[in-house]
């Protein structure tokens, strides 16, 4: 049992180091992944991400938004603490900043929040599910 506990503690420490390194990779490689017009991927803790409350204390390093002019597509987000209201707050912050919001194929929990925020599910030109504001 003692050996198992030591192994588990070592595994946790290694995973924490990997996570910290991945966050650093995210900060340095992707923080400025926008073109000259400000379009492109927005990652947690980037300048644009921080302005929107899209930060690594709320979202995983793999999360990102995609901006095209005044439209934000929530491409992939994963909250660190599901059920804490971070997704709802992000939607509010995006609206306050004047963006139109698109959410392709949201999870079931995201759909519940989107319905409360007056979004509707529809299909884009390719037949893919997309949720937009009414």
Q: pLDDT, tens digit, for every residue of 54-110?
A: 999 999 989 999 999 999 999 899 999 998 999 999 999 999 999 999 999 999 999
For the chain, give the percent of residues with pLDDT over 90: 68
Task: Tell whether domain 2-133 is in CATH 1.20.1160.
Answer: no
Contact by Cβ (8 Å): 80, 53: no
> What would you report as the CA-atom Rg of the chain, rounded to the nearest whole angstrom?
17
Q: Where are the domains of the chain?
A: 2-133
Residue showing tokens 């995983």: 60
Comparison of pLDDT for 41 and 24, the residue scoring more: 41
Higher pLDDT, 4 or 42: 42
Q: pTM of the prediction? A: 0.74
């Amino acid at each position: 049992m003692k050996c198992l506990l030591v192994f588990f503690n070592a595994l946790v420490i290694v995973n924490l180091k990997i996570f910290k390194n991945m966050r650093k990779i995210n900060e340095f490689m992707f923080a400025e992944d926008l073109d000259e017009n400000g379009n492109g991927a927005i990652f947690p803790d980037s300048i644009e991400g921080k302005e929107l409350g899209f930060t690594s204390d709320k979202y995983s390093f793999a999360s990102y938004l995609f901006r095209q002019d005044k439209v934000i597509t929530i491409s992939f987000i994963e909250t660190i603490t599901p059920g804490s209201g971070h997704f709802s707050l992000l939607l509010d912050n995006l609206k306050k900043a004047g963006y139109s919001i698109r959410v392709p194929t949201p999870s079931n929990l995201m759909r519940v929040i989107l319905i409360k925020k007056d979004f509707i599910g529809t299909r884009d030109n390719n037949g893919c599910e997309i949720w937009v504001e009414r």
